[in-house]
């Protein structure tokens, strides 16, 4: 009881502050991991006092979970946009490019997610088992249909999806390594061309 935010309509200030906190938390969590992050860092980066943070969220874990929830929605969205009635190869390539784009635009989200899964997804189990599982199963079925119709070269659809996730998120998650090995090169352009070639050659019927 007596929690800060009630179920009533939030004011503008509340909305703004929650947003600030989540943004700061995304920064800190994605960089240091859950345990490595401190409320102090988040508070400092949000420009709020520590107790004020706890007025908006129930605690450290609440912030983290809120972040993961928001993330998963956006994260899975591109998968939902694969059109079963579109051209198979182009649909998949569009997905690949969209994922690569997200890796570039939202590297913090990618790392937050990676951190969580790496540690066994202790705060995310439900999300994986319901939302994600169903979505992947659906998509796998679509791909299998395409293959059965001879419109895609035969591959295991789930491993295909994994490979897309792996290769695109790699540029966000392993950025520290990529930067060292690519020195001044234009990483994103090269990645985009490479992945285009990779999946085109692999999937062309």
Partner DNA sequence: TATGAATGAGAATTCATTCAT
Partner DNA sequence: CATGAATGAATTCTCATTCAT
**DSSP letter at 38?**
-
Which of the ranges 10-18, 69-77, 90-98, 114-122 carries the binding residues for a copy of itself, by CB under 8 A?
Answer: 114-122
Contacts of 174 (CB under 8 A, 6+ apart): none
**Euclidean distance between CA atoms 43 and 130, whole angstroms:** 33
Q: Which residues from 1-30 bind a copy of itself, rule CB under 8 A?
A: 2-3
C-beta separation of 123 from 65 below 8 A: yes
Cα(143)–Cα(41) distance, integer angstroms: 45
Question: Contacting DNA (CB under 7 A), which of 33, 44, 50, 104?
Answer: 50
Structure tokens at 59: 């605690």
Question: What's the closest the beta carbon of residue 103 comes to DNA, in angstroms?
Answer: 28
How far is 155 from 12, CA to CA, in rounded Å? 50
> If binding means CB under 7 A, how many residues of this protein chain bind DNA?
25
Q: Is 47 in the site for a copy of itself (CB under 8 A)?
A: no
Q: Which does 107 bind (CB under 5 to 8 A by kind): DNA, a copy of itself, none?
A: none
Phi/psi of residue 122, nearest 5 degrees: -65, -25
Q: How many other CB atoms sit within 10 Å of the CB of residue 116?
A: 22
Say how far apart CA 108 and CA 75 lie, in whole Å.
12
CB of 137 to DNA, least distance (A): 35
Binding mask 54-83 for DNA (x = CB under 7 A): xxx-xxxx----------------------
Residue 17 binding: pick among DNA, a copy of itself, none (C-beta 5-8 Å cut-off by kind) = DNA
**Interacting span for a copy of itself (CB under 8 A) from 52-60, 73-81, 94-102, 190-198:** 190-198
Residue 21 CB neighbour total at 10 angstroms: 24
Q: What is the CA radius of gyration of the chain?
A: 20
Interface contacts to a copy of itself, rule CB under 8 A? 2-3, 31-36, 40-41, 43-44, 111, 114-115, 117-121, 128-129, 132-133, 136, 153, 155-156, 158-160, 162-163, 165-167, 169-171, 173-174, 176-178, 180-182, 185, 190-191, 193-195, 197-198, 201-202
């Amino acid at each position: 009881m007596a929690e800060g935010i009630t179920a009533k309509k939030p004011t503008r200030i509340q909305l703004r502050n929650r947003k600030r906190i989540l943004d700061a938390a995304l920064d800190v969590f994605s960089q240091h991991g859950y345990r490595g992050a401190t409320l102090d860092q988040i508070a400092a980066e949000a420009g709020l006092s520590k107790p004020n943070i706890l007025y908006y969220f129930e605690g450290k874990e609440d912030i983290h979970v809120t972040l993961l929830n928001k993330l998963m929605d956006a994260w899975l969205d591109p998968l939902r946009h694969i059109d079963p009635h579109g051209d198979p190869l182009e649909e998949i390539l569009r997905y690949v490019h969209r994922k690569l784009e997200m890796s570039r635009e939202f590297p913090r989200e990618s790392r937050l997610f990676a951190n969580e899964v790496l540690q066994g997804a202790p705060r995310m189990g439900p999300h994986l088992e319901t939302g994600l599982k169903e979505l992947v199963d659906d998509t796998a079925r679509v791909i299998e249909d395409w293959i059965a119709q001879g419109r895609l070269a035969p591959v295991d659809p789930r491993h295909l999806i994994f490979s897309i996730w792996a290769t695109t998120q790699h540029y966000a998650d392993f950025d520290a390594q990529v930067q060292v090995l690519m020195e001044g090169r234009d990483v994103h352009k090269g990645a985009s061309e490479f992945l285009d070639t990779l999946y085109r050659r692999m999937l062309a019927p």
